[in-house]
């Protein structure tokens, strides 16, 4: 049940990020990149990934994979 809740939250965040993109505002990843230098950004994202992976215990694959995709998106700069 908790994975469905987390998946729903991830989808809502994605929809909000698309809304920001289409309205020509700063997206979530652009705001994060503007707040901290690259090395701090990498530490924060890796820390979040490890923490989330520990939380899920590696039992479920889909939600941690989706979080990995989101973190990969945050590292991707145009």
Express each pLDDT in 12-26 by its tens digit.
888 898 898 889 898
pLDDT > 90: percent of the chain: 1
CA dist 50 and 56 (Å) reads 10
Q: 2-6, 61-65, 69-73 — which is least confidently predicted?
A: 61-65
CA dist 25 and 37 (Å) reads 21
Element (H, E) at 48: helix 38-56
Which whole number is the average pLDDT over 62-68?
71
Vertex 26, ends 20 and 31: CA angle to 5°?
120
The whole model's pTM is what? 0.54
Element (H, E) at 51: helix 38-56
């Amino acid at each position: 049940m908790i994975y469905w809740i987390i998946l729903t939250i991830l989808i809502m965040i994605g929809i909000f990020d698309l809304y920001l993109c289409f309205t020509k505002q700063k997206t979530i990843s652009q705001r994060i990149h503007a707040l901290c230098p690259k090395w701090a950004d990498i530490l924060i994202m890796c820390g979040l990934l490890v923490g989330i992976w520990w939380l899920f215990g590696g039992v479920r694959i889909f939600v941690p994979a989706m979080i990995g995709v989101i973190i990969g998106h945050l590292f991707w700069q145009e």
